[in-house]
Structure 1
Amino acid sequence: MNKVRTGRSLVVPVILASAVFALATCLFLYLATLWVVRSDSDAGLAQAVDIELAALADVFATGGLDETAARISDRLALRGASGDDAHYLLADADGKRIAGDIHGWPMLSAENSQAGFLTINGDIRVYARATQLAPGVSVIAAREYGQRSALITHLNWVFAVAAILVLIASLLLAWRYAARLGRRVSALNDAFDAVQAGALDQPVPGRSDEDELGALSRHAEQLIGRLSHALKGQRAITDQVAHEIRTPLAHLDSRLLRIIAVNPDPDQVAALGAVRRDARGIADMLDSLLDIAASETRRGDRSGLERIDLSAVAQDVVDLYADSADEAGHRLSANLTPQVMIAGDAMQLTRMFSNLLDNAFKYAGPGAGISVSVEQGPRIVVADNGPGVAAPLRQTMFEPFRRAGPGPGHGLGLALVRAIAERHGLSIRYEDGQPGAMFILEGERS
């Protein structure tokens, strides 16, 4: 079984999140600064225009229309090139210009002292206010905001450069810390992969770090230690139980043989032979249960597995069963792709194929065709054209003490097949061969 990896790393999301946060922060600061600059500039423009109008109103009140027109002309003559030049329009009741440089009366109400941003003389952007000096006399004072535009342009460039620098800095910092975090998490994953492969005594990296990952490493090491202790204890107990049961069964078999050897009564010999078969059945059941427990316990454990030719193992089993198939009247065939390699235990895989063929021989019926195929993947199919497995039994036939059909045995054959398959990273399922049964085992390519 290969290492389980999702293909995604936490480094990239952390870096992207940092970049988005940095850009969002820069954008917020830019908009806030822009709003302040525009608000202050607009207030300054309005104050300057209002001062102009107040001054012109004073001149008109003291000097009349001609003095006001002269004063506007003087102010226009003294304009500089600051980019915030003032513009004026003194007009009569019909909007006809008396003085000033604004060519036409804009859409501003002098009666309401209306103000706003507008364009005069075709292309000049100004802030202007209109007011009525006297019945039939109105005036507009306007001021360009070129300096404000230049300031905003400069502000845009400054924030653009600052945003780029902040983005680069945040990406570098995020990459540094996210990469370090990623390496630590990868080290933990590698440690768990080693545990899955059977290295229960390997220390977990990072357990000395005084942070969350360090605490996680220490907890993981403690859990692995307890798991290792529990597995060793379980194996010791099962080995002891197996020894305690096998030994008296072996003694019983020996005594039965001695009794049979000296007993002339055929009926008693037959009865003692049945007892021997039952004893051997108990021993076989014990072996199967221990094999199932060992295989399930070592599921995903890569220790002890070697790279072997699955096709060669299947061929050996088919050759071994060829004579038995002829005696039972079965037609046994094999379709084996050469050199299908897998990391496995040859003895366990041999037993897996043997159990599948035993199951087919037992339930397919006389004269049935039985086939074994092995393909790259790997993919294993053991099929027959017998009656198949009844629908009610299909959901439970891979469980211990459940049979695929009526007959002798303890119902452990298919349970052991599944345990061995899962030990080697294979999944097993049943399909209706229409007619017959198909047992399909599949796994990842090794």
Structure 2
Amino acid sequence: MVRNNAFWHWAKRLLHTQAFRMLLVFVFFYAVSATALVAFTWWNAQRALDAQTDDTIEAEVGGLRETYQRLGVIGLSDVITSRVAQHGSGIYYLRSSNGAVLAGNLLELPDAARSDGRFFEFDYQRSQQDETVTRTARGEAFTVPGGFILLVARDISDQKLSRKKFLTSIPWSVGLMLLFGIGGGILMSRNFLRRLDVITRTSSEIVAGDFSRRVPITEAHDEMDSLAENLNTMLERTERLMKGMREVVDSVAHDLRTPLNRLRLRLEEMQRKLDPESPQHEDIENALAETDRLIGTFNALLLIAQADSGIIRDSMGPVDLSVIVADVADLYLPLAEEKEITLEVLPSGVLTVEGNRSLVSQALANLIDNAIKYSGPGDRITVSVSETPLSIDMTVADTGPGIPEDERARVLERFVRLEKSRNSPGTGLGLSLVSAVARMHDASLILADTTPGATPPGLKAVLSFPRALGRKPNMVERAF
């Protein structure tokens, strides 16, 4: 069963290849053209054979007429009798005006015979090796002066048999041409698919973070090799850019984060030296808050850059989402209780995905933090992990105001904040970071109403991770 499914999958891929379809169209038109050419040649040859037969009959008729004019009906009968005795392909019939057969090798005048001198074909009986067989002849009949009817014809059974064999061979020839053409198309498409699979596997490994991979180049030096060379050149440039990105990120992390942390420490030292009741103490408190917000923005941007560039793909491994949910929920439980919000974690078993534990935890923390920030006293936040046949979903659902459907795609962009959240603390990078983490894990970020039609509808954010490794990446966030 598995082998049959694999075969049908391969056959379906084969039928959808451009090379196979192009070759199939070429073979079809070639078969039609070849059949038309052979049919025209055969038709022309049949015309030539019929014309040759007609010319032979006309010449013989002319000779018999001269014989009749010179020797009369008795001489004509003798000539016909002598020709019949030669057992050739000639067919003769001479009848008097009263219906008596005077000479010839036909017992009666064929029904199709016409005495106007036009050619016609007819079947007749002939003895052959002690048996009577039906054969076909072509000839003409005309009236001789004196009321005599003379028919002169030639046996064309062999020509008719050749014609039948030819007509029978045409479908077989076309079928064989199509068969060999399809066979050649399968071989060519199989080679094309094999080389395309190499490119696909290489690109999948590159998407997974191995920027050192290159597309193999064969000795054929064909179009596929030219494509591979161009891809390898592009990959080399991409690898250099990614290496430069890593160096920039490391430099920024060192050159900016360290001064910011030093600034915060100095502000804290200055604050400790001041009287808590002095105005300067409050100013430094505000400066510390702004510094913390700046450090938070910097860290978020750094994480987004790392996720988008794939720098930390090497650190990915098996991650149990149920453990991450429990740990992050415990961290935010005191804050939820302080705002009189119910934070609930639904029980689940061990559900493991391939990912970066730190980034997945940060993404979940951002989702819970957003839910707490925009929910009020009495609201409920539910965090859960569930599985489907194709994915493992991590969900944060709240009963807060939610996000309008037409704004859900926009809130995933950097530094985007809706009008109703302008006065609340934040940088507008929370959902942008979650979106970047989803892209890095080939996952989907889905935003929807917790309770459609309710007021307020709430917001349900779902991080949907693919179950199977090596699945084609789905980097498009969906908003419903």
Do the two structures share a fold, i.e. TM-score over 0.5?
A: yes
1:104 aligns with 2:116: no
1:130 aligns with 2:141: yes
Note the residue ranges of structure 2 that are not aligned, 5 or more in a row.
Answer: 1-9, 126-132, 469-480
SS at 2:141's partner residue? strand
1:248 aligned residue: 259
Judged with a 3 Å threshold, the aligned counterparts in structure 2 of structure 1 residues 114 and 249 are, in CA distance, closer, same or farther, namely: same
Distance in 2, matches of 1:135 and 1:304, equals: 115
Of 101-110 and 341-350, deviating more is 101-110
| Residues 309 and 340, structure 1, Cα contact 8 Å, conserved in 2 | yes
SS at 1:90's partner residue? strand
- The structural deviation recorded for 1:262 is 0.9
- The structural deviation recorded for 1:74 is 3.4
- The structural deviation recorded for 1:412 is 0.6
1:57 aligned residue: 65
Distance in 2, matches of 1:220 and 1:322, equals: 50
2:473 aligned residue: none
Of 59-68 and 36-45, deviating more is 36-45
Render the CA deviation track for 1:310-359: whole Å, top value 9, x for unaligned: 23322332333333333322222233542333211111111111111111
Judged with a 3 Å threshold, the aligned counterparts in structure 2 of structure 1 residues 221 and 63 are, in CA distance, closer, same or farther, namely: same
Judged with a 3 Å threshold, the aligned counterparts in structure 2 of structure 1 residues 21 and 393 are, in CA distance, closer, same or farther, namely: closer
Match for residue 87 of structure 1 among 86, 91, 98: 91
Distance in 2, matches of 1:314 and 1:8, equals: 41
Distance in 2, matches of 1:95 and 1:359, equals: 116
TM-score (norm 2): 0.80
Of 168-177 and 385-394, deviating more is 168-177
| Residues 392 and 467, structure 2, Cα contact 8 Å, conserved in 1 | yes
Match for residue 428 of structure 1 among 435, 439, 445: 445
Judged with a 3 Å threshold, the aligned counterparts in structure 2 of structure 1 residues 32 and 394 are, in CA distance, closer, same or farther, namely: same
SS at 2:73's partner residue? helix
- The structural deviation recorded for 1:423 is 1.1
Which protein has greater RCO, CA pairs closer than 8 Å, 6+ apart? 1
SS at 2:385's partner residue? strand
Match for residue 296 of structure 1 among 308, 311, 319: 308
Distance in 2, matches of 1:144 and 1:344, equals: 88
| Residues 95 and 105, structure 1, Cα contact 8 Å, conserved in 2 | no
2:118 aligned residue: 114
Distance in 2, matches of 1:207 and 1:279, equals: 57
Judged with a 3 Å threshold, the aligned counterparts in structure 2 of structure 1 residues 437 and 162 are, in CA distance, closer, same or farther, namely: closer
1:75 aligned residue: 83
2:403 aligned residue: 389
Render the CA deviation track for 1:364-386: whole Å, top value 9, x for unaligned: 22211111232221233321122
AA aligned opposite 1:445 = R
1:351 aligned residue: 362
Judged with a 3 Å threshold, the aligned counterparts in structure 2 of structure 1 residues 95 and 290 are, in CA distance, closer, same or farther, namely: farther
AA aligned opposite 2:194 = R
- The structural deviation recorded for 1:177 is 4.4
AA aligned opposite 2:299 = D
- The structural deviation recorded for 1:126 is 2.1
Match for residue 328 of structure 1 among 312, 317, 339: 339
Render the CA deviation track for 1:162-212: whole Å, top value 9, x for unaligned: 777766765665555443333223222222222222222223211664222
1:373 aligns with 2:384: yes
Render the CA deviation track for 1:35-87: whole Å, top value 9, x for unaligned: 3542333233222322332222222222222322333333334325xxxx332
Q: How many residues align?
A: 436
Render the CA deviation track for 1:245-301: whole Å, top value 9, x for unaligned: 2222112111111111111152321221110110010011011112112222229x9
Distance in 1, matches of 2:20 and 2:258, equals: 61
Match for residue 192 of structure 2 among 173, 178, 181: 181
Match for residue 264 of structure 1 among 260, 264, 275: 275
SS at 1:389's partner residue? coil
1:195 aligns with 2:179: no
AA aligned opposite 1:387 = P
SS at 1:114's partner residue? coil
SS at 1:202's partner residue? coil
- The structural deviation recorded for 1:154 is 5.3
Judged with a 3 Å threshold, the aligned counterparts in structure 2 of structure 1 residues 302 and 49 are, in CA distance, closer, same or farther, namely: farther
Distance in 1, matches of 2:158 and 2:287, equals: 111
Match for residue 279 of structure 1 among 269, 291, 301: 291
Distance in 1, matches of 2:223 and 2:346, equals: 55
1:239 aligns with 2:250: yes
Distance in 2, matches of 1:420 and 1:311, equals: 18
SS at 1:131's partner residue? strand
| Residues 330 and 370, structure 1, Cα contact 8 Å, conserved in 2 | yes
Note the residue ranges of structure 1 that are not aligned, 5 or more in a row.
Answer: none
| Residues 22 and 167, structure 1, Cα contact 8 Å, conserved in 2 | no
SS at 1:397's partner residue? helix
Of 217-226 and 189-198, deviating more is 189-198
Distance in 1, matches of 2:313 and 2:23, equals: 36
